[in-house]
């Protein structure tokens, strides 16, 4: 006889929602946790970055909401949910690396603060999760626990002290001056905080502070929460 829990998992993937500020380790930790669980991995920030890239390629002023909406009209976006084969595309263009450029990072907040854009993108995220074909999906971003998937069975706020986040981001972007990277991170936090509150845990959200944790310890902390909340024993 088929286990009804298996049927439910196949029909409705377990959603693990992870929020947090830049430099908290959301992307790398979420991706590794997804590997351990056999889950998909959805980087929601990539969509806003890709739209910012698309707008910049068209010469759009990303502080102009109407111009951003116009650019969103022909935004042909695709992303992989495979943590071992991650890519982002806009039309025929492979933009996985391009959307991490400083010029794109500086433009993201302008794109993300347009309400109609957020509504459309959030609907796209939910559709991607529903059609993932995976037993679960780790979805990470800024307002995942409160807006995108507020009913997710696992909701986590992953954070760390500002100086630790800045140091981690500087290590990731070794070609740039550490002070410049830290300043950019703080500006991004300040700009994004005007759109969503990603530093305060909503009721029912588990906080994981990785300030004193290394990478593997942070991954283990996420896995422990997932398994405690869902009993998930997927993966390795």
Coil, helix or strand at residue 192? helix
Look at residue 166 in the predicted model and tell me its pLDDT: 82
Say if residue 22 carries a ligand binding annotation.
Answer: yes
Q: Which of 3-7, 57-61, 179-183, 227-231 has the highest mean pLDDT?
A: 57-61
The CATH number that domain 14-227 falls under is 3.40.50.300
Say if residue 28 carries a ligand binding annotation.
Answer: yes
At 32-68, the pLDDT tens digits run 999 999 999 999 999 999 999 999 999 999 999 999 9
Please tell me the pTM assigned to this model: 0.84
Mean pLDDT, rounded, for 114-119: 94
* Nearest C-alpha neighbor of 20 from the set 152, 140, 108, 106: 140
* Nearest C-alpha neighbor of 192 from the set 99, 105, 113: 113
Say if residue 25 carries a ligand binding annotation.
Answer: yes
Whether residue 141 contacts residue 157, with contact meaning beta carbons closer than 8 Å, is answered with no
Q: Which tokens sit at 43?
A: 């980087």
How far lies 147's CA from each of 49, 63, 159, 195, 198, in Å? 19, 23, 18, 12, 11
Look at residue 181 in the predicted model and tell me its pLDDT: 66
Query: What size, in residues, is the chain?
Result: 236
Say if residue 26 carries a ligand binding annotation.
Answer: yes
């Amino acid at each position: 006889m088929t286990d009804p829990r298996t049927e439910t998992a196949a029909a409705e993937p377990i959603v693990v929602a992870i929020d947090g500020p830049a430099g908290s380790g959301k992307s790398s930790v979420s991706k590794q946790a997804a590997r351990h669980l056999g889950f998909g991995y959805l980087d929601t920030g990539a969509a806003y970055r890709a739209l910012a890239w698309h707008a910049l390629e068209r010469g759009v002023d990303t502080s102009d909401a109407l111009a951003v909406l116009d650019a969103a009209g022909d935004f042909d976006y695709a992303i992989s949910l495979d943590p071992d084969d991650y890519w982002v595309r806009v039309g025929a263009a492979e933009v996985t690396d391009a959307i991490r450029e400083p010029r794109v990072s500086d433009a993201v907040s302008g794109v993300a603060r347009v309400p109609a854009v957020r509504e459309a993108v959030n609907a796209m995220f939910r559709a991607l999760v529903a059609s993932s074909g995976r037993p679960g999906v780790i979805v990470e971003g800024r307002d995942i626990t409160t807006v995108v998937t507020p009913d997710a069975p696992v909701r986590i706020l992953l954070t760390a002290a500002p100086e630790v986040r800045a140091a981690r981001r500087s290590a990731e972007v070794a070609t740039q001056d550490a002070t410049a990277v830290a300043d950019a991170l703080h500006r991004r936090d300040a700009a994004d905080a005007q759109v969503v509150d990603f530093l305060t845990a909503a009721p029912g959200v588990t906080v994981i502070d990785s300030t004193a944790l290394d990478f593997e310890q942070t991954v283990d902390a996420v896995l422990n929460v997932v398994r405690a909340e869902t009993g998930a024993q997927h993966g390795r």
